[in-house]
Structure 1
Amino acid sequence: MSFYISIDPGNKKCGLLLADIKSGKVIEAGISSLNNFSDLVSFWNEQYLIKKIIIGDGTNCRYIENELKQKKIVNLKYVNERGSTLRARFRYWEIWPPNYCIRWLPKEILFPPDNLDAIVALILLEDCLKYTFIWPEKVNIKIWP
């Protein structure tokens, strides 16, 4: 198996996503504080054969890079994240379609109930690889401290 990690850096938190390239599925996803994200990335790096780490090129991307390099984690690739948050709103509704009552409303006026950082990380990975991943029902968006 071949795994990728995708990171959407922010000011206080970041979206993290672990995906299996061969199966095309998301393995784990969530949101972590900037203080602790590198511990989770290190853990994933030890547990899985991580081929590449994708990082959005926006807010705090250099901080993310420095933290990972301190832990001797390499194979980093930056991806343009312009417009990814808006696109994540639409992607959210593709993964979790709205219930019957609001299904017919335009997606532009619907705001997802969950934090979108993990979905943005998915968008970054899909943009980088030009591939749409499957989000299995059993994978929930986690919040790591």
Structure 2
Amino acid sequence: MLFAIDPGSEKTGTAILREDGSLVSRQIVPTGTLAEHLTRQYAHHPFSHIVMGDGTNHRHLQPVAEAWIRTHHPEITFSLIDEKFTTVEGRKLYWKYTPRHGWRRLVPLSLQYPPEPVDDFVACIIGLRYLHSQGGVT
């Protein structure tokens, strides 16, 4: 399994994906709790790789993830992946998993923004990009 991270300054999106690209779990957590979140998630869904988006805040969170790996599971590998346009793709994925109700069904998706943060869906996109770059998911 793969643990994907969309690094943010206040909140961080996370997702766990199988090698076939199917989504196992997704969450948004306070950025300062990433190490604890990794420990909790690993206990339920052991993963073998961590991938993080290379956006601005990765400079703060990459050392956290790498320290967690060194301390707890040195066999886990780590990589960065291009994060360009993942927010736009994450919004589209949000609507795929969250059907529109009421007036939202009448307004074209191109004119709507999700009513809640999509950092977890962005993490999923980051994970899918990594799998695609490895010759996995198309």
TM class by smaller structure = 0.7 to 0.9
Q: Deviations over 1:84-120 (max 9, x none)?
A: 1112111111222212643242211111112110010
Which residue identity lines up with residue 102 of structure 1 in the other structure? R
Q: Deviations over 1:49-100 (max 9, x none)?
A: 3121110000221221211222215411111111111121111112222126
Q: What is the aligned counterpart of 2:58 among 52, 57, 61?
A: 61
How many residues align structurally? 129
Q: What CA RMSD, in Å, does the superposition of the two structures yield over aligned residues?
A: 2.0
Q: Which residue of 2 aligns with 1:8?
A: 6
Q: Which residue of 2 aligns with 1:96?
A: 98
1: CA distance, partners of 2:102 / 2:28: 29
1:25 CA drift (Å): 3.0
Q: Which residue of 1 aligns with 2:110?
A: 108
Q: What is the aligned counterpart of 1:124 among 115, 126, 133?
A: 126
Q: Which residue of 1 aligns with 2:36?
A: 39
Which residue identity lines up with residue 7 of structure 1 in the other structure? I
Identical aligned residues as a percent? 24
Which residue identity lines up with residue 56 of structure 1 in the other structure? G
Q: Which residue of 2 aligns with 1:143?
A: none
Q: Which residue of 1 aligns with 2:79?
A: 77
Query: Is it true that 1:50 corresponds to 2:52 in the alignment?
Result: no
1:38 CA drift (Å): 1.1
1:36 CA drift (Å): 0.6
TM-score (norm 1): 0.78
